[in-house]
Chains A and B, each alone.
Chain A
Amino acid sequence: MKEGFFLGIDIGSVSTNVVLIDKNGGVIENMYLRTQGKPIEVLQKALATLYEKYGDSLRIKGVGTTGSGRHLASLVVGADIVKNEITAHAKAAIYFVPDVRTIIEIGGQDSKIILIKDRIVIDFAMNTICAAGTGSFLDRQAERLNIPIEKFGETAIKSQNPVRIAGRCAVFAESDMIHKQQLGHRCEDILFGLCLALARNYLTNLAKGKNLENPILFQGGVAANIAMKKAFEQLLGTQIIVPKFYNVMGAIGIALLAKERTKGLITKFRGFENINGCKFETKGFECHDCSNYCEVVGFYSNGSLVARWGDRCQKYSSNRNYHIENSKNL
């Protein structure tokens, strides 16, 4: 336990993932936790679990954060590298499958396609404004049919005659599903029909005009759903690989990037005890100094201001004292 380890943190809309890798890139620990709208608390809890298990012998040499909550997480832990999730996912996929050409990544609120050639990203696309092709949609429909999301895949895969469901829009898909249900179709047929609709929507929306070459990797939380894998395989007519750590690939990628970044440098990691002993808070307010009405958010650690963001004019984010000076007026 003395060589030092690297921590990768991926805070997404639905899940918060923490992984620990050793200096050779081997995955020592991986945690997949539900964010449940409380990213800081969940992250603190995950780090506390790690600390309990390994104690002081756990020497962290580098930390990276990714996902939509990456900036928040970097303030909590003191990250060496903060990167977007596309780069992180690509990094991890190339690490596990060096000759990978296509990555299908479906997460809680967004889905991505990443095309790779000669171990570099050559093209990518992310879903636009609509959530019809993402995990939360499956989540919601499973909830409506009273099926736990973990059982979704194994129920759907039994289907013999999947029904046709319009996947273009989440709302229309839902009404389609209700109609099919009222006609008496079996639950598994509707569920697999939904998987097919989601996959079809993904392929027409994100993969439009792109060449999906083999090998194809399927990662992100939705890859747990075996029916989704089958749906993609059916539509593409080819085998799809679901990597072992499919649900924490982003975190692994950022840990690998942190490992590269901190080569020969000292980490900015704040230490487990400092993080767990701290009380982190965010406070927001709407600034009315001009007609932009920016929503300014302040990040406090043990009651003292650490950082601020959200203001267009940057008078709060660039000058930490501004708020204190003006607090009397607020």
Chain B
Amino acid sequence: MKVGVPNSFCYAGMENFFIRVIPEVFEDSQVIFSGKTTKEMVEYGLKNGCDELCIPAKIFIGHVEYLIRKKSVDVLFLPRLVSVLPSTYSCPKIIGIPDIIRANYHGVKLVVPEINLRKKRKMMSEKSMKNEQLFDFPMAKIAKVKNIMVLAHSYVIFDEFLNKGILETIKSAGYNPIYPIYYRFNSFYISSDLPKEFFWSSARDIYNYFEWAVNNTQINGVVYLMTFGCGIDSVLQELIMRKCNELGLPYLCITVDEHCADVGIQTRIEAYLDMIEWRTSKDEKNYLSTHG
């Protein structure tokens, strides 16, 4: 049996988890991933997604269509990620994505187990539920100097199609991009300066990382990669922007959308890095840091 798993959106980085879990669920199965986002998938997604969805969710629909059309999978394995971090919820679009797929594609078999850390009763074995084992992304290496913090959902940071290769652009300009990773962080850091913790797990994660990195690493600037139509980003971006203003950190917010050309993003990021360069060279002359 061919079990298809779209590895984008909320299932990005869960490849190892799926390879481990799917043989437990299905007998004699073959796992088929949709792979990296391609333009073909984006086009499928834009055609089939409703306009209320954020751009990563639309692309996710494209991944699903690709699996159905090109890979002719027998069944789609889409766990419902209700809560993957204690006392939080996932974004409503993540929770509802199996239903969106069900409504869009009639006659396609879906297997939708629930992953919910808020419930006592668990649908999967205790071992595969631990969130360190749920997501597996390469960690960012933190350099001593010249770090640029890129904040976004992990599925944006690791999708080159969505972010137009921003990490590479930063690297080629001689800076080291650092970024948060889902659910790796909370085990050792709890945010202190928010009056109330975030309701959504990804937001809590990104904000905690931001706060930790500001206090514990030498960063030259913060870039927020916002995806068009994301509700969490719209709240989080504002909070982080205010915090950066307070700290005097250079801040740039880029909204990624369906744009095909990367020129707009390139211009902004180049200008931003120029600005940082300009600032630092001035600092060295005056022996004064503007970063506090």
Q: Name the contact of B268 in the complex, choosing from A68, A126, A294 (C-beta under 8 A).
A: A126
State whether A292 touches B39 (Cβ < 8 A).
yes
- Chain B interface residue bracket vs A: 20 to 34
A266 part of interface (Cβ distance < 8 Å)? no
State whether A291 touches B38 (Cβ < 8 A).
yes
> What residues of A have a CB within 8 angstroms of the CB of B39 in the complex?
291-294
Q: Name the contact of A293 in the complex, choosing from B40, B268, B278, B279 (C-beta under 8 A).
A: B40
Q: Which residue of A lies closest to B66 (CB)?
A: A291
State whether B245 touches A209 (Cβ < 8 A).
yes
B250 part of interface (Cβ distance < 8 Å)? yes
State whether A292 touches B271 (Cβ < 8 A).
no
Known: A120-B282, A126-B268, A292-B40. A86 touches B263 (CB 8 A): no
Q: Name the contact of A87 in the complex, choosing from B40, B66, B251, B274 (C-beta under 8 A).
A: B274
Q: Name the contact of A124 in the complex, choosing from B40, B271, B282 (C-beta under 8 A).
A: B271
A80 part of interface (Cβ distance < 8 Å)? no
B196-235 interface mask toward A, CB cutoff 8 Å, 1 = contact, 0 = none? Answer: 0000000000000000000000000000000010000000
Q: Which residues of A (103-155) have their CB < 8 Å from a CB of B?
A: 118, 120-124, 126, 128-129
A290 to B39, CA, bound (A): 10
State whether B250 touches A84 (Cβ < 8 A).
no
A84-100 interface mask toward B, CB cutoff 8 Å, 1 = contact, 0 = none? Answer: 11110000000000000
A83 part of interface (Cβ distance < 8 Å)? yes
State whether A122 touches B38 (Cβ < 8 A).
no
B267 CB, nearest partner CB in chain A, Å: 5
- Chain A interface residue bracket vs B: 20 to 34
A177 to B274, CA, bound (A): 40
> What residues of A have a CB within 8 angstroms of the CB of B245 in the complex?
209
Q: Name the contact of A122 in the complex, choosing from B40, B267, B275 (C-beta under 8 A).
A: B275
B24 part of interface (Cβ distance < 8 Å)? no
Q: Name the contact of B38 in the complex, choosing from A85, A290, A295 (C-beta under 8 A).
A: A290
State whether A120 touches B274 (Cβ < 8 A).
no
A275 to B284, CA, bound (A): 41
B37-49 interface mask toward A, CB cutoff 8 Å, 1 = contact, 0 = none? Answer: 0111100000000
B132 part of interface (Cβ distance < 8 Å)? no
State whether B274 touches A121 (Cβ < 8 A).
yes
Known: A121-B278, A122-B279, A129-B257. A87 touches B271 (CB 8 A): yes
A37 CB, nearest partner CB in chain B, Å: 16
Q: Which residue of B lies closest to A127 (CB)?
A: B264
A123 to B270, CA, bound (A): 13
State whether A292 touches B255 (Cβ < 8 A).
no
Q: Name the contact of B40 in the complex, choosing from A85, A123, A291 (C-beta under 8 A).
A: A291
Q: Which residues of A (267-312) have their CB < 8 Å from a CB of B?
A: 290-295, 312
State whether A291 touches B274 (Cβ < 8 A).
no
A122 to B260, CA, bound (A): 30
A85 to B264, CA, bound (A): 11
A274 to B223, CA, bound (A): 42
Which of A85, A121, A123, A129: most chain B Cβ within 10 A? A121
State whether B255 touches A128 (Cβ < 8 A).
yes
Which of A84, A85, A86, A209: most chain B Cβ within 10 A? A84
Q: Which residue of A lies closest to B272 (CB)?
A: A124
State whether A86 touches B271 (Cβ < 8 A).
yes
B36 CB, nearest partner CB in chain A, Å: 9
State whether B41 touches A84 (Cβ < 8 A).
no
> What residues of B have a CB within 8 angstroms of the CB of A128 in the complex?
255
B246-263 interface mask toward A, CB cutoff 8 Å, 1 = contact, 0 = none? Answer: 000011000101001001
> What residues of B have a CB within 8 angstroms of the CB of A118 in the complex?
282
A192 to B223, CA, bound (A): 37
A85 to B160, CA, bound (A): 25
State whether A129 touches B282 (Cβ < 8 A).
no
Q: Which residue of A lies closest to B228 (CB)?
A: A129
A167 CB, nearest partner CB in chain B, Å: 20
State whether B255 touches A68 (Cβ < 8 A).
no
A247 CB, nearest partner CB in chain B, Å: 20
A15 CB, nearest partner CB in chain B, Å: 17
A11 CB, nearest partner CB in chain B, Å: 12
State whether B40 touches A121 (Cβ < 8 A).
no
Q: Which residues of A (310-329) have their CB < 8 Å from a CB of B?
A: 312
> What residues of A have a CB within 8 angstroms of the CB of B263 in the complex?
68
State whether A83 touches B257 (Cβ < 8 A).
no
Q: Name the contact of B279 in the complex, choosing from A120, A292, A295, A312 (C-beta under 8 A).
A: A120
Known: A122-B279, A129-B257. A84 touches B40 (CB 8 A): no
A312 to B122, CA, bound (A): 43
A87 to B279, CA, bound (A): 12
Q: Which residue of A lies closest to B254 (CB)?
A: A128
State whether A291 touches B271 (Cβ < 8 A).
no
A130 CB, nearest partner CB in chain B, Å: 11
Known: A128-B255, A290-B38, A291-B41. A85 touches B267 (CB 8 A): yes
A89 CB, nearest partner CB in chain B, Å: 10
Q: Give the 8 A-B residue pairs with the shortest CB-CB distance, closest first.
A: A86-B271, A291-B40, A291-B38, A84-B270, A87-B274, A121-B275, A84-B271, A292-B39
In the complex, besides A86-B267, A291-B41, 17 extra interface pairs with C-beta distance below 8 angstroms are: A68-B263, A83-B270, A85-B271, A87-B270, A87-B271, A87-B274, A118-B282, A120-B282, A121-B274, A122-B275, A123-B250, A129-B257, A291-B38, A291-B40, A292-B38, A293-B38, A295-B260
Residues in B lying within 8 Å of A, measured CB to CB:
38-41, 66, 160, 228, 241, 245, 250-251, 255, 257, 260, 263, 266-268, 270-272, 274-275, 278-279, 282
What are 16 A-B interface contacts by the 8 Å CB criterion?
A: A84-B266, A84-B267, A84-B270, A118-B282, A120-B278, A120-B279, A123-B251, A123-B275, A124-B271, A124-B272, A129-B257, A209-B245, A291-B38, A291-B66, A295-B260, A312-B160
